[in-house]
């Protein structure tokens, strides 16, 4: 998962709004969104290599999503970052006021077992951010947040673009639907070089990775946006979950829709 925007306690009808693009190698095996039969019923797509997920919800009301932290170094074998999301979603509920913060702290304390990650966790009236590239657990107040492959709210062009696309919609529209949110993440044009970050991967790759929706210019790279996921949780606690997948040339593929 490489780009997430979250509106938390911001919209009068939907306390949790999430739109996210997952960018990944096309040859990495993936199962589309489905219900997993786990200790808690978990709804998510599944990375069939690592066994975890990039983004999911469960039947107790929890939400979790992870992105990698781009550092321009070749990643050696470590534990899958998808364990961080599934670990939270599969935990049995006990003292929920402490649970989410304890879990976040556990992830940071054991952060050296993983390559760089950013993690968003939500339960009940809490949304928490943590990272093994940032020492503090951050409880998030009401607001709109973006997360890509650096720390929370780092103003990369793609992050600023999707926030600028979403904010007017939330201010002017009482009812939000999945297609509106998906549209916010569809820009495929690279941003100007002077606005790009330097994450150590070289300018050509920075250009390719700069838009919200990534298309590979060459089959040799074989990497791009695989799906867009939307989570809409209303005041009554009902959640709509939509996953729109794409093929290698960016054409619309299968759509999965769920209501919980």
Q: What is the pTM of this model?
A: 0.95
* Cβ neighbours of residue 109 closer than 8 Å, sequence gap 6 or more: none
Domain map of the chain by residue range?
3-259
- CA 44-34-211 angle, to 5 degrees, is 45
Alpha-carbon span 259 to 6, nearest angstrom: 19
Candidates 213, 220, 218, 219; CA nearest to 245 is 213
* Mean pLDDT of the residues in the chain: 93
Backbone angles phi, psi at 34, to 5 degrees: -160, 170
- According to CATH, the topology of domain 3-259 is Penicillin V Acylase; Chain A (3.60.60)
Structure confidence by residue, pLDDT tens digits, 68-114: 999 977 777 889 999 999 999 998 765 444 589 999 999 999 999 99
Half-sphere exposure in the Cβ direction for 5 (13 Å, CA): 23
* Cβ neighbours of residue 136 closer than 8 Å, sequence gap 6 or more: none
Structure confidence by residue, pLDDT tens digits, 103-143: 999 999 999 999 999 999 999 899 999 999 999 999 999 99
Alpha-carbon span 22 to 227, nearest angstrom: 5
CA-to-CA dists, residue 75 to 69, 79, 100, 107, 116, angstroms: 11, 11, 28, 19, 10
Q: What does the DSSP 8-state code read for residue 226?
A: E
Token pair listed for 56: 């999911």
CB-count exposure of residue 151 (10 Å: 0-12, 13-18, 19+): middle
- So what's the pLDDT on residue 97? 47
Candidates 130, 124, 59, 136; CA nearest to 95 is 124
> Is pLDDT of 174 > 80?
no
Termini Cα distance of the chain = 23
Block residue for tokens 């998510």: 44
Token pair listed for 81: 């970052």
């Amino acid at each position: 998962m490489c780009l997430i925007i979250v509106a938390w306690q911001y919209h009068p009808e939907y306390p949790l709004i999430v739109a996210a693009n997952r960018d990944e190698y096309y040859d990495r095996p993936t199962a589309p969104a489905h219900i997993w039969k786990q200790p808690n019923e978990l709804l998510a797509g599944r990375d069939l290599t690592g066994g975890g997920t990039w983004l999911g919800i469960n039947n107790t009301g929890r939400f979790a999503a992870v992105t990698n932290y781009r550092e321009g170094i070749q990643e050696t074998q470590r534990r899958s970052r998808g364990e961080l999301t599934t670990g939270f979603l599969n935990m049995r509920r006990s003292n929920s006021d402490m649970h989410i913060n304890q879990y976040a702290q556990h992830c940071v304390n054991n952060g050296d077992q993983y390559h760089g990650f950013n993690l968003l966790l939500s339960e009940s009236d809490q949304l928490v951010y943590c990272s093994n590239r940032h020492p503090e657990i951050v409880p998030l107040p009401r607001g709109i947040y973006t997360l890509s492959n650096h720390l929370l709210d780092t103003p990369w062009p793609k992050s600023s673009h999707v926030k600028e696309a979403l904010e007017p919609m939330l201010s002017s529209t009482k009812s939000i639907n999945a297609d509106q949110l998906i549209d916010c993440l569809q820009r495929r044009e690279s941003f100007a070089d002077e606005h790009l970050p330097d994450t150590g991967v070289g300018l050509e790759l920075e250009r390719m990775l700069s838009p919200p929706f990534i298309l590979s210019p060459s089959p040799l790279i074989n990497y791009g946006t695989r799906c867009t996921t939307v989570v809409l949780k209303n005041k009554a606690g009902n959640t709509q979950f939509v996953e729109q997948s794409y093929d290698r040339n960016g054409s619309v593929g299968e759509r999965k829709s769920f209501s919980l």
